[in-house]
Structure 1
Amino acid sequence: MTSFTIDDFTYRRIAGADGVHLNVAVGGEGPAVVLLHGFPQTHYMWRHVARLLAQQYTVIVPDLRGYGDSDKPAAQDVNTYSKRTMGNDIITVVRELGFDSFGLVGHDRGALVAVRAGLDHPESIAFLGILDVLPTLDTWSVLQGVNAKVAWHLYLMAQPAGMPEKMIAAVAHEFYSSFLDAWDPAGNTFTPSERDYYVQASIASTDSIVADYRATAGIDLDMDAADRERGVQLSMPVAAISQDWGSQLGFDASALWRAWAPDFTYQATTSGHFMAEQNPQEIAEFVQALAHRADDQH
């Protein structure tokens, strides 16, 4: 499989937590901004936004552990793909690049990693941006009745190790293609080669992708519940941008995130789930506005 890269960015392999090496693209100069991808994608989803932001910032774009060209360790225990471990990867990588403080923006799965990093390492995160996902605790609580069918894959990958991996492997191309089709109904976000790249990269990562999702139905949920009970919140400026799923499924995304982040702003977008590729200018401006808000507070 040929990997797709971001033009004008330099690539490095950098050790994160537990010696797991991440594939990391770096470009631009200035304060650091880290962009974390979602499912079923890789760091390449940020290609347009990253180049826009690189005009002002040092932009760091890794493949998460288990995805793309990063290491894919076997899940030895529940911690291997916990969002705490994945967040520690990011903290370690960015410090290796010479930054003690940075802005952190995540899409989908990457946003869950970003939130856990923000809860665990508030001293390192200058601001936190969230694209099109709900808090872990609230995701499970709002998925009720027939509406839960939109998140059927969450339930599949939450099952004990073995069966989900085999089921997905049996129809892997169709499985990953189904999300690209459902979340890009117009079919014009990706070129055919880009779409094939995402599918093939995901097929090569099936075991680790399932482990990532399984953690979100287990240890990640436990960690978030413990923090909620202790009243732990995100202390940095936080902003979220999402599709308006709430009107369809009966929840208020802004209110759910505000319970975790007192310094919070929210905006809805008319773009689809793959908003960083569908409207990169809007997402770059979203990140810039959040960075300026954080600067104004210091």
Structure 2
Amino acid sequence: MPGTPPMPPSTAEISLRRVAANGIDINVAIAGNGPAVLLLHGFPHTWRLWTEVIAGLAPHHRVIAPDLRGLGATTKAADGYDAGTLATDAEELLTALGEPSAAVVGIDAGAPPAFLFAMRHPARVRRLVLMESALGRLPGAEDFFAGGPPWWFGFHAVPGLAETVLTGHETEYIDWFLTAGTRGRGVPREIRDAFVDAYTGRDALRCAFSYYRAAPAGARQIQDAADSHRLTVPTMAVGAHPVGTALERQLRPIADDLTGYLIEDCGHIIPLDRPRALLPPLTSFLAPDRHT
């Protein structure tokens, strides 16, 4: 792609709302006007992961960036952290906001629910973008998992263990992920502090780790969806380090319309590590929405 346009100012007019959907109150950042784009973050993030992306998309889209179930300022629910329930959260959030459809973008833990939303309700998902995640055990990610899952998957999955060990040490723990996820470059201090605050306290950690504890259920839901029908929504798989092209390879056999995009020299937290490299392919892929 020729040249990289200058970054737009990261001062999009953002309003924060609390929206009742699927039995919880979802904290959601909203900016811009136009066809809706729903942004689903992962761990250890909040909606602020998308700060630069919101600025880039808001001139042409209504950008909707929630804190996922249990994370940030959204209800710290007792359960419902499987990908299927999270997909319903997303669907009902759009309904509550009066949006019949949206382009849906998911990264990390936000990618499986984005995928299931598109599989279950393709009429409501105009375009799908999935980044830096694996979709359960669908074929194609064998190389990524060759040495076993990342070490923290097992640590987080043991009920009660990680929150007991980490309470009081949240800052150091979150900093490790933010440093590793940007290949040592780090994230803006304001955003880093917001993430640390969001994941401080035993109940906040319990909610975060519930995503990992519900992963087997999500993997079954993903497999069931892939076994029963194809992904018909135009989709882009965006990889960086460490997932690379594994997600694209998982999607290739089941997707009717798939674009793969790999961002070089970029860590896992793409929207914060290399937003200048992400925005051109993202805005280009979403551009048809401007005319729908």
- TM-score, structure 1 length as denominator? 0.85
The percentage of aligned residue pairs carrying the same residue is 26
Q: Is the 8 A contact 2:144 2:243 kept in 1?
A: no
Instruction: Tell me, yes or no, if structure 1 residue 278 matches structure 2 residue 278.
Output: no
Instruction: Tell me, yes or no, if structure 1 residue 40 matches structure 2 residue 44.
Output: yes
Q: Deviations over 1:153-201 (max 9, x none)?
A: 1122223x222332333643332222112222333x4233432321221
Equivalent AA in structure 2 for residue 240 of structure 1 = A
Q: Deviations over 1:133-154 (max 9, x none)?
A: 1222249855555x336x1111
Equivalent AA in structure 2 for residue 284 of structure 1 = L
Give 1:50's aligned residue: 54
Q: Is the 8 A contact 1:13 1:22 kept in 2?
A: yes
Q: Is the 8 A contact 2:60 2:290 kept in 1?
A: no
Q: Is the 8 A contact 1:35 1:60 kept in 2?
A: yes
Q: CA deviation at 1:85?
A: 1.0
Q: Is the 8 A contact 1:134 1:257 kept in 2?
A: no
Cα distance between partner residues in 2 of 1:290 and 1:142: 27
Give 1:64's aligned residue: 68
Matched residue pairs, number? Answer: 279
Q: Is the 8 A contact 1:11 1:26 kept in 2?
A: yes
Q: Cα RMSD over matched residues?
A: 2.5
Tell me: CA distance 1:132–1:142, structure 2 relative to 1, closer, same or farther (3 Å). Answer: same
Q: CA deviation at 1:274?
A: 1.9
Of the three residues 272, 276, 291, the one matched with 2:286 is: 291
Q: CA deviation at 1:32?
A: 0.5
Give 1:11's aligned residue: 16
Of the three residues 178, 191, 196, the one matched with 1:180 is: 178
Give 1:269's aligned residue: 263
Equivalent AA in structure 2 for residue 124 of structure 1 = R
Q: CA deviation at 1:281?
A: 3.4
Of the three residues 254, 257, 263, the one matched with 1:260 is: 254
Give 1:190's aligned residue: 187
From the two aligned structures, give the one with the greater helix fraction: 1
Cα distance between partner residues in 2 of 1:277 and 1:134: 20
- Segments of structure 1 that go 5 or more residues without pairing to the other structure are none
Q: Is the 8 A contact 1:37 1:108 kept in 2?
A: yes
Tell me: CA distance 1:214–1:6, structure 2 relative to 1, closer, same or farther (3 Å). Answer: farther
Tell me: CA distance 1:143–1:214, structure 2 relative to 1, closer, same or farther (3 Å). Answer: farther
- Segments of structure 2 that go 5 or more residues without pairing to the other structure are 1-9
Cα distance between partner residues in 2 of 1:215 and 1:27: 31
Equivalent AA in structure 2 for residue 292 of structure 1 = A
Q: Is the 8 A contact 1:14 1:23 kept in 2?
A: yes
Q: Is the 8 A contact 1:237 1:290 kept in 2?
A: no
Q: Is the 8 A contact 1:34 1:105 kept in 2?
A: yes
